[in-house]
Copies of this chain bind each other. A is one copy, B any other.
């Protein structure tokens, strides 16, 4: 499997795959041409990468999962480093949710006040 086919099968671009390689997430054998040659294990790796990127992980966070997959485990989640990243990410997401909830409350309060004072402030003006 060459890089174009892998990209198509994984639903991404060749540019992205080369980028993952330069960041140590993907390794490829080379044919006599110098072309990158991949197998189905690489396809699984790329799918894992894409999934985690979609969730919001950065490439550095993804590396443990890929290492875990390449260590022969059927899932990238099982190795201790992956679990640690999962825990950290859950904490980050929780913090993000809490922050956004507070922002939402604040916005809703501003909106309410703005709507209430719109008649008395705004409608008698040009704006």
Chain A interfacial positions (CB closer than 8 Å to B): 55-56, 68, 71-75, 77-80, 82-83, 86-87, 89-90, 93-94, 96-97, 100-101, 103-104, 106-108, 110-111, 113-115, 117-118, 121-122, 125, 127
Q: When chains A and B are docked, how far (Å) is the Cα of A19 from the Cα of B41?
A: 49
Q: How many copies does the complex hold?
A: 2
Interface pair A93/B111, CB less than 8 Å apart: no
The verdict on A121 contacting B86 (CB below 8 Å), with A97-B100, A100-B93 known, is no
* Contacting residues, chain B, for A114 (C-beta < 8 A): 75, 77-78, 82-83, 86
Contact A117 B86 (CB under 8 A): no
A122 and B73 contacting across the interface, CB-CB below 8 Å: yes
* Cβ-defined contact, B110 with A73, below 8 A: no
Contacts of A97 in B (CB 8 A): 97, 100-101, 104
